[in-house]
Amino acid sequence: MNPRYRQTHFLTSAAKLAQAPADEGFEVAFAGRSNAGKSSAINTLCDHRGLARTSRTPGRTQLLNFFEVLPERRLVDLPGYGYAKVAQDLKHDWQGALADYLERRACLRGLMLVMDARHPLKPYDLQMLAWANAIPLPVHVLLTKCDKLNRQQSDAALAQVREALREFGTDFSVQTFSSLKRWGIDEAHQRLDDWLAMPCR
């Protein structure tokens, strides 16, 4: 566990890009389908159980939530996508905020795309990959909940996603991850360090 991430703290929430912190420094955003384990992944990577809200009701993250790791180095929890029971007008508003953020945020350095390892590469995931590729924006896929798979199943999911990412070039990568078992933390931290241009310890 990289101790620098333990000092990460909530900074602010924004319903639209104009309410976000100044567009300076370095940011890494976390995106994923509702209930893929996005908030749990953020909490695990920062070793802070209550940092990002987790809920048994998918679709609860409806704002852009900013967390400061160090001055001018932030993680951003983006609204979950793909949950049908959220009211359509609300879904439209927050998907608009997500699009503005991804396409216009100059300090955004990379996207951690969270997928449930048991159900990777759903249509919304593929849309997000294509969108990031068009921007262009580097992507690192976290295949979460790997503790629910055996080794053969986990390796198969990793190979499946790795093959799918080949069409997007060298800036797209993937790893297995488990918040429950705390698997894959060091690898994810290394990617965050690279994107956030972390100073030497």
In-domain check, residue 57 = yes
What residues make up the domain containing 20?
Answer: 3-196
| For residue 92, pLDDT beyond 60 | no
Structural domains in the chain (count) = 1
Looking up residue 53, the CATH number of its domain turns out to be: 3.40.50.300
Residue 201 lies in a domain: no
- In a domain? residue 129: yes
> What mean pLDDT is reported for the chain?
88
CA distance 28 to 107: 9
* Amino acid identity for residue 80 in this structure: G
Question: CB 85: neighbour CB atoms within 10 A?
Answer: 9
* Prediction pTM value: 0.90
Residue 33 lies in a domain: yes
The reply to whether 54 falls in a domain is: yes
Per DSSP, what are the bridge partners of residue 173? 140
In a domain, 88, yes or no: yes
Mean pLDDT across the stretch 95-99?
A: 75
What value does the mean pLDDT take over residues 46-51? 90
Query: What is the structure's pLDDT at 121?
Result: 96
Residue 79 lies in a domain: yes
Distance from C-alpha of 10 to C-alpha of 70, rounded to nearest angstrom:
11
